[in-house]
Structure 1
Amino acid sequence: MPFIPISCLLFLLFYSHPAAADTFTSFYQTKKHLSSQLSDTAKTLYCGCGITRQGKKLIPITQECGYQPRKPITRNGKPNSRATRIEWEHIVPAWEFGHQLQCWQEGGRANCRKVNALFRRMEADPNNLAPAIGEINGDRSNYRFGMLPDTPFRHGDCAVKVNFKQRVIEPPPAARKQIAHAYFYMQQTYGLRISDKQQKLFEAWAKMAH
């Protein structure tokens, strides 16, 4: 098994609650629970925006974090609704952990949800979910994390970079420790396979102060 820093293992002992995670059997169920339990001080994963409620909807407070939509208007000429709502993002994408299961090869995400209890637990595990602005969740897609020194910022003052050609996303420094911990949690809990390059990157991120 790849080496995992002791700081990450201590984090997992503190942060991981297997019994609690096992109580969730669907992604929808987990999202509903997390939304209802979200604290008033919660911030979005990438931009660090505050979050407010508008009825049952969660809305990013963009004026306090400087986020601006990369695409304010969609292709059909309408305002980009995903830029004004909070979505629950899988830090380790469902594509990444699902692709390592046979059920994905036989029918993708829908098939895994239908026939594979392990996938349903992984998809619903709250330890791998974080609130994110919908547009950035969409831009991230299932791209891997990495460093993009030559890629410009395209979401206002939100310090996230996305290279669509390389299919890589560079998160702001403040988000990197949480991302690394989520990957190590999924690795320890479900046997997620992580490449050597990504393992080294996440080990470095896990040591960051934030």
Structure 2
Amino acid sequence: MFPIPLFCLFILLCCTQPLAAHTFTSFYQAKKHLNQQLTEQSKTLYCGCDINRVGKKPVPDPQTCGYQPRNPITRSGKPNSRATRIEWEHIVSAWEFGHQLQCWQSGGRANCRKVSAQFRRMEADPRNLAPAIGEINGDRSNYRFGMLPDTPYKHGACKVKIDFKQRVIEPPIYARQQIAKAYFYMQQTYGLKISEKQQKLFEVWAKTEH
């Protein structure tokens, strides 16, 4: 008879091995892996667009979600390339978790990447990364999440709101649970500090159905 303790150990190893296999030491490694994991069911975080491939490059399909670029042309008069590409968004922004580390005070993100193994793990943690349209990733910047009842949509039919003066972003309903879970994961795993106001907001979002 198969010993029960050994069987339990086998099950534990089977359950934990995939998680260990998806641990990365650089943001580049994480992005490369996540790009390979995208499927036909994958959607962008803020707009819910389908993701297609041009060669090996993932690109958003705006026809599936009604996304329209806020700025189709850049200030230099060229087409906005970020509106046509997929970028990996840090749900908890690198600025937010980086600012809580000493390395950031001595040289920002570049210094943290150089001297802090913890920052590199946080920056490359796939549980805090989601595919997003590049323009919206840029517009979000390091803004905090919140509710913006009086702010209009600026990206076509994409249900994301951004107030550039208040530096606040309101994600669509279907993305809120994922965002809340990412914050709580970073809090539990790395000791991320979350303000009381944000904590309460995310507790509500964590219960939000898609």
The alignment of Structure 1 onto Structure 2 pairs a total of residues equal to: 195
Deviations 1:32-68 (A, max 9, x none): 0000111111000000000000012111010010000
The 5 Å alignment of 1:117-196 reads 117-196=117-196
SS of equivalent residue, structure 1 residue 175: helix
Deviations 1:117-148 (A, max 9, x none): 00000000000000000000000000000000
The 5 Å alignment of 1:1-210 reads 19-21=20-22, 23-210=23-210
SS of equivalent residue, structure 1 residue 36: helix
* Structure 2 residues without counterparts, runs of 5 or longer: 1-14
CA positional deviation for 1:209: 1.2
Once residues 20 and 94 of structure 2 are traced to their aligned partners in structure 1, the CA distance between those partners, rounded to angstroms, is 21
> AA paired with 1:58?
P
* Structure 1 residues without counterparts, runs of 5 or longer: 1-13
Report the counterpart of residue 7 of structure 2 in structure 1: none
- TM-score, normalised relative to structure 2: 0.90
Aligned sequence identity (%): 79
SS of equivalent residue, structure 1 residue 73: coil
> AA paired with 1:172?
P
Once residues 55 and 192 of structure 2 are traced to their aligned partners in structure 1, the CA distance between those partners, rounded to angstroms, is 37
Deviations 1:140-188 (A, max 9, x none): 0000000001110000000100000000000000100000000000000
Once residues 205 and 20 of structure 1 are traced to their aligned partners in structure 2, the CA distance between those partners, rounded to angstroms, is 29
Greater RCO, CA 8 A, separation 6+? 1
- Say what the alpha-carbon RMSD is for the aligned residues: 1.4
Once residues 53 and 26 of structure 1 are traced to their aligned partners in structure 2, the CA distance between those partners, rounded to angstroms, is 24
Once residues 144 and 28 of structure 2 are traced to their aligned partners in structure 1, the CA distance between those partners, rounded to angstroms, is 24
- TM-score, normalised relative to structure 1: 0.90
- Runs of 4+ aligned structure 1 residues displaced above 6 Å come to none
